[in-house]
């Protein structure tokens, strides 16, 4: 038995495994413009547009926690996560498929609530619920969301197009979804340790970060602005796995590096307060926290001024360098930290 | 608390629930031609074609059993199941996304084998593996497959187009996948009860039905024939949930009924042998057994002769009637059995 036979997924890692298994599928279809490697697959080219397709699976107890996440909010959040992948290609989402694997303890009313959230979010993003699947599950509720969209040929943005000296921009703020999760997990622990089963935690002090965790909003507004103003980033990705991970994706795909400024990371005051209370480093929240569903994009320096006149919704955090795969961060103290060649 | 709040999914049923929840999503996109109700959603119309999109989720212990299904065969089978939904619309599959939720006990070699099967099946059907997702799972391995294809506008076939007096045709034979499953489950029980942990069951007597269960083949050949010969069925569906269930779908969608002949059901000799050994009714295998991935379609009577000259791969099992939603079967004894208004 070779050593390989006992390798766990964790030991290889997500990115490594995906790269590895892609090698088993060698057929190339003329209807697929771009397969594995971006937020969405690029399909079905015609005269004017490309189709965009993305699918993700969410497992109870891994990606969501029914003890503090209401069903309608889970439904809405997963739709936001799905359409965010289409926006990250500078496209528009049109159709959503929802697959559920449902254990017995989940009642039809809970499924109803899930779909109410899905339906409301679909309306917000201009998507039609167009199908899906329903099966059983022994333990966990499992939800798979597939989203289909399109983009004009001349407007598509890949994560591989960053150029040296491009400014690296991020919409909104980052790390807040993780801060919200930390607050919710702490309250869950308090509730579990308390003698009062109906204790309702007061989360009003943390309203912003909790909302960012439970009902994140995908950046439809940014994509609308790009379209209206004819702005096309050189590369783009949604910040779903964490800023550093997603910046590594841009750097690796573009065969470039990045130099960012710690002091420029857009962090909300409430996120800082959470980190202070938890005695944790808020920059770790910003660099590694996932699920913010902000957009990170690169733009030629000269375009940044134009965008800044149009929107206050983004921050320049650094620039693209020509040292392939290398991410450097200048700390507030002026030191330079170098991050590994590839995040996982 | 209303009585409704305790309703389980099982008490409402799959079809009922899907119809119910569709009501929560009212947004209609101009890029969606046809949403819920067919084997695939119909999307992104252009001058000449429609896009087709379908997604299904498979849960370990519900849809597949790792104790007697090798990983590469699971991979290949799920791709066959996926593309079958595209063929059922008279289309061609082009791209596949695979999402995995993987528990710790699954090694990277097992995932490798799964993808080898996926890759081989993708090549067989002319599909490109174009993306997907990888996450963790506490218990069961969960696999979601999304398939994208297209169809010429003038060739699309819905399950709602059956006309009174159309012949009902089925490719290949039915009930064999269920027969194979029965054999495999019996051998699993024998193995579990035996003292010999390395006992290898001799399945050579049941090679055909076991193969039908483990490595079913989607009917690419039938769709190629239709395209080559300019044959367009009035309605079509793949036999994935069971002949009766899927015929009910055609009948209900088409607002028609069906009259079928028990003696005409295409049943393989080995399927009959399994039913005999199990002391079960083989017609139940044929009517209710799922996962055959044959195609059931309706054709005007005058077209049947033409098709029969071109192919021996199909059987006429009855005809469409104008009694909406009603399925009648003439038994071998000449009696008529009426099945419920709607299968679930």
CATH number at residue A15: 3.30.1330.10
Domain that holds residue A245: 167-339
Cβ within 8 Å of residue A118, ≥6 positions away: A75, A76, A78, A79, A96, A98, A129, B24, B25
Judgement on whether residues A140 and A172 belong to the same structural domain of the protein? no
Write down the pLDDT at residue B47: 86
Domain for residue B288, yes or no? yes
Judgement on whether residues B120 and B67 belong to the same structural domain of the protein? yes
Contact B29 A127 (CB under 8 A): yes
- Which of the listed residues A130, A155, A180 is the one where a domain comes to its end? A155
Cβ within 8 Å of residue B94, ≥6 positions away: A29, A31, A32, A43, A44, B126, B127, B128, B148, B149, B150
Chain B's closest residue to A114, CA to CA, is B21
Chain A's closest residue to B107, CA to CA, is A8
CB pairs under 8 A between A and B: 296
Contact B55 A99 (CB under 8 A): yes
Read off the pLDDT of residues A118-169 as tens digits, 9 standing for 90 and up: 999 999 999 999 988 888 999 899 999 999 999 999 999 999 999 999 999 9
Structure tokens at B107: 């090694």
- Average pLDDT, stretch B154-180? 96
How far does the CA of residue B276 sit from the closest CA of chain A (Å)? Answer: 30
Domain for residue A202, yes or no? yes
Domain for residue A256, yes or no? yes
Q: Are B225 and B309 in contact (CB under 8 A)?
A: no
Structure tokens at A322: 């020509």
3-state secondary structure of A298: strand
Residues of A in contact with B21 (CB under 8 A): 111-112, 115
**Number of structural domains in chain A:** 2
Q: What is the mean pLDDT of chain B?
A: 90
How far does the CA of residue B296 sit from the closest CA of chain A (Å)? Answer: 20
**Which of B22, B118, B144 to substitute to test the interface with A, most A CBs within 10 Å?**
B144
Chain B's closest residue to A41, CA to CA, is B130
CA A216 to chain CA centroid, nearest Å: 10
Judgement on whether residues B147 and B171 belong to the same structural domain of the protein? no
How far does the CA of residue B275 sit from the closest CA of chain A (Å)? Answer: 27
How far does the CA of residue B72 sit from the closest CA of chain A (Å)? Answer: 11
Residues of B in contact with A41 (CB under 8 A): 95, 97, 130-131, 148
Contact B62 A137 (CB under 8 A): yes
Q: Tell me, what CATH number does B225's domain have?
A: 3.90.650.10
**Which of B14, B16, B31, B82 to substitute to test the interface with A, most A CBs within 10 Å?**
B31
State yes or no: pLDDT of A2 exceeds 50. Answer: no
Read off the pLDDT of residues B135-166 as tens digits, 9 standing for 90 and up: 899 989 999 999 999 999 999 999 999 999 99
Judgement on whether residues A315 and A176 belong to the same structural domain of the protein? yes
**Which of A35, A129, A135, A138 to substitute to test the interface with B, most B CBs within 10 Å?**
A129
Cβ within 8 Å of residue B313, ≥6 positions away: B171, B172, B221, B222
8-state DSSP, B40: S
Write down the pLDDT at residue A325: 86
pLDDT band with cut points at 50, 70 and 90 for residue A11: low
Contact A53 B131 (CB under 8 A): yes
- Which of the listed residues B155, B179, B200 is the one where a domain comes to its end? B155
Residues of B in contact with A36 (CB under 8 A): 129-132
State yes or no: pLDDT of B344 exceeds 60. Answer: no
How far does the CA of residue B333 sit from the closest CA of chain A (Å)? Answer: 37
Judgement on whether residues A182 and A232 belong to the same structural domain of the protein? yes
pLDDT band with cut points at 50, 70 and 90 for residue A35: confident
Write down the pLDDT at residue B164: 97
CA–CA distance, B103 with B140 (Å, rounded to integer): 6
**Which of B29, B30, B50 to substitute to test the interface with A, most A CBs within 10 Å?**
B29
Read off the pLDDT of residues B86-140 as tens digits, 9 standing for 90 and up: 999 999 999 999 999 999 999 888 998 999 999 999 999 999 999 888 889 998 9
Judgement on whether residues B243 and B321 belong to the same structural domain of the protein? yes
Contact B41 A12 (CB under 8 A): no
How far does the CA of residue B38 sit from the closest CA of chain A (Å)? Answer: 8
* Greatest pairwise CA separation for chain A in angstroms: 65
Domain for residue B162, yes or no? no
How far does the CA of residue A48 sit from the closest CA of chain B (Å)? Answer: 10
Judgement on whether residues A136 and A190 belong to the same structural domain of the protein? no
Burial of B109 (0-12, 13-18, 19+ CB in 10 A): middle
pLDDT band with cut points at 50, 70 and 90 for residue B15: low
8-state DSSP, B254: H
ipTM (interface pTM): 0.90
pLDDT band with cut points at 50, 70 and 90 for residue B337: very high
Q: Are B102 and B128 in contact (CB under 8 A)?
A: no
Domain for residue B236, yes or no? yes
Q: Are A106 and B11 in contact (CB under 8 A)?
A: no
- Which of the listed residues A127, A155, A183 is the one where a domain comes to its end? A155
Measured over the CA atoms of residue B81, residue B83, residue B85 and residue B87, the dihedral's sign is: negative
Stated as kind and residue range, the H or E segment containing A177 is helix A176-193
Judgement on whether residues A258 and A115 belong to the same structural domain of the protein? no
Judgement on whether residues A300 and A176 belong to the same structural domain of the protein? yes
Cβ within 8 Å of residue B185, ≥6 positions away: none
Burial of B304 (0-12, 13-18, 19+ CB in 10 A): middle
Domain for residue A160, yes or no? no
CA–CA distance, A42 with A36 (Å, rounded to integer): 9
β-pairing, A92-102 vs A128-136, is parallel
Contact A130 B44 (CB under 8 A): no
Domain for residue A179, yes or no? yes
Residues of B in contact with A123 (CB under 8 A): 25-27
Contact B55 A115 (CB under 8 A): no
Judgement on whether residues B302 and B180 belong to the same structural domain of the protein? yes
Domain for residue B344, yes or no? no
């Amino acid at each position: 038995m070779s050593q390989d036979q006992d390798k766990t997924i964790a030991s290889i890692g997500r990115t490594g495994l995906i790269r590895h298994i892609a090698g088993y599928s060698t057929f190339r279809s003329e209807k697929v413009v771009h397969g594995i490697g971006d937020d969405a697959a690029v399909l079905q080219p015609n005269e004017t547009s490309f189709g965009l397709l993305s699918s993700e699976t969410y497992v109870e107890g891994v990606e969501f926690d029914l003890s503090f996440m209401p069903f309608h909010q889970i439904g809405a959040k997963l739709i936001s996560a799905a359409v965010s992948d289409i926006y990250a290609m500078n496209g528009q989402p049109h159709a959503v498929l929802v697959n559920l694997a449902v254990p017995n303890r989940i009642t039809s009313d809970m499924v109803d609530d899930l779909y109410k959230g899905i339906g409301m979010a679909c309306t917000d993003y201009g998507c039609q619920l167009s199908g899906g699947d329903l099966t059983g599950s022994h333990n966990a509720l499992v939800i798979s969301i597939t989203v289909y969209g399109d983009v004009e040929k001349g407007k598509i943005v890949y994560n591989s197009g960053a150029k040296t000296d491009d400014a690296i921009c991020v919409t909104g703020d980052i790390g807040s979804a993780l801060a919200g999760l930390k607050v919710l997990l702490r309250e869950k622990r308090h509730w579990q340790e308390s003698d009062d089963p109906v204790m309702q935690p007061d989360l009003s002090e943390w309203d912003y970060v909790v909302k960012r965790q439970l009902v994140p909003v995908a950046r439809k507004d940014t994509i609308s602005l790009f379209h209206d103003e004819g702005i096309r980033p050189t590369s783009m990705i949604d910040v779903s796995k964490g800023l550093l991970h997603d910046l590594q994706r841009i750097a690796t795909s573009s065969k470039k590096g990045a130099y960012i400024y710690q002091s420029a990371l857009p962090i909300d005051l409430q996120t800082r307060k959470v980190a202070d209370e938890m005695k944790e480093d808020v920059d770790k929240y910003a660099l590694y926290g996932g699920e913010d569903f902000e957009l990170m994009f690169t733009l030629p320096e000269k375009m940044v001024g134009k965008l800044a006149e149009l929107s206050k919704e983004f921050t320049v955090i650094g620039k693209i360098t020509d040292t392939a795969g290398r991410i450097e961060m200048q700390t507030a103290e002026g030191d330079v930290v170098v991050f590994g060649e590839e995040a996982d």
